[in-house]
C-alpha cells in the first residue's frame, strides 16, 4: 500500500520546482554582471531565500516520513531513492552556498584568481550534478507512472493522479 503525501508536501514539492525553474531563468551569464551592486544584492538575497526554503522543505519532509514507497520495496531500490533525494538536497544547497561564496568573494574584491575560479567550478559541478539527479528522479517517477503502482500519484497534483480523466495516457 502506497501512502500519499500530504497536500502541504505536494505544495512544497511543486512550489520548490517553481522556485528552481525561476532560479534557472534568472541566472547570470557572466561573472562581471555582479559589478551591478543591486544585482549582486538580489542574487545574494535570492540564494539565502533558496537555502531557507530548501532547508524548510527538508525538515518538513523528514518530520513527515519522506517516502511514499511501500515497506516491501527492495532494499536497493529504497537506498537508491534515498540517495537521489538526499543528493538533490545537497547539490541544490551547494549551488546556493557556492553562489553566496562567489558573491562574497566578488564583493570583497576577489574578482579573479584561483580562489574564485575554484568556487565557480564547484558551483557549475553542483549545477550539473543537480541536473543529473533531477533527471534520475523524474525518470523514476515516470517509471512508477508506467508501472501504475501508486507511487506517481503520491506526489503529483490531483489532476495528474493515476486514473484522473485529465492524466496523460501511456
The better pLDDT of the pair 24, 156 is held by 24
Q: Each residue of 32-77: pLDDT tens digit? A: 999 999 999 999 999 999 999 999 989 988 887 666 676 777 899 8
What is this structure's pTM? 0.83
Query: Which structural domain range is residue 49 located in?
Result: 7-65+74-160
Residue 168, domain member (yes or no): no
Exposure on the CB side of residue 58, measured as CA atoms within 13 A: 16
Confidence at 125, pLDDT banded by 50, 70, 90: very high
pLDDT score for 162:
62
pLDDT score for 158:
56
Residue 12, domain member (yes or no): yes
Residue 54, domain member (yes or no): yes
The better pLDDT of the pair 97, 71 is held by 97
- CA quadruple 65, 69, 73, 74: dihedral sign: negative
Q: Is 79 exposed, middle or buried (0-12, 13-18, 19+ CB in 10 A)?
A: exposed
Residue 169, domain member (yes or no): no
Residue labelled with grid coordinates 506526489: 155
pLDDT score for 170:
46
Number of domains in the chain: 1
Least confident range of 36-50, 119-133, 155-169 = 155-169
CB 52 within 8 A of CB 44: no
| pLDDT(165) > 50 | no
Residue 140, domain member (yes or no): yes
Residue 2, domain member (yes or no): no
Averaged pLDDT score across all residues of the chain: 85
Residue 21, domain member (yes or no): yes
Confidence at 166, pLDDT banded by 50, 70, 90: very low
Q: What string of DSSP letters covers the chain?
A: -PPPPPHHHHHHHHHHHHHHHHHHHH--SSGGGGGSHHHHHHHHHHHHHHHHHHHHHHHHHHHH-S--S-TTS-HHHHHHHHHHHHHHHHHHHHHHHHHHHHHHHHHTT--SSHHHHHHHHHHHHHHHHHHHHHHHHHHHHHHHHHHTSSTGGGTS-GGGSTT-TTSPP-
pLDDT score for 133:
97
The better pLDDT of the pair 62, 88 is held by 88
Residue 170, domain member (yes or no): no
Amino acid at each position: 500500500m502506497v501512502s500519499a503525501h500530504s497536500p502541504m508536501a505536494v505544495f512544497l514539492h511543486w512550489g520548490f520546482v517553481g522556485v528552481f525553474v525561476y532560479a534557472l531563468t534568472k541566472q547570470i551569464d557572466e561573472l562581471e554582471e555582479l559589478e551591478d551592486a543591486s544585482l549582486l544584492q538580489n542574487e545574494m538575497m535570492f540564494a539565502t531565500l533558496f537555502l531557507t526554503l530548501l532547508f524548510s522543505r527538508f525538515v518538513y519532509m523528514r518530520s513527515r516520513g519522506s517516502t511514499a514507497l511501500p515497506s516491501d520495496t527492495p532494499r536497493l531500490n529504497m537506498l537508491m531513492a534515498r540517495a537521489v533525494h538526499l543528493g538533490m538536497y545537497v547539490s541544490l544547497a551547494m549551488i546556493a552556498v557556492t553562489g553566496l561564496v562567489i558573491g562574497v568573494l566578488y564583493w570583497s574584491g576577489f574578482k579573479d584568481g584561483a580562489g574564485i575560479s575554484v568556487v565557480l567550478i564547484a558551483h557549475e559541478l553542483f549545477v550539473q550534478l543537480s541536473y543529473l539527479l533531477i533527471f534520475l528522479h523524474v525518470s523514476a517517477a515516470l517509471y512508477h507512472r508506467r508501472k501504475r503502482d501508486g507511487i506517481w500519484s503520491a506526489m503529483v497534483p490531483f489532476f495528474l493522479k493515476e486514473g484522473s480523466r485529465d492524466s496523460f495516457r501511456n
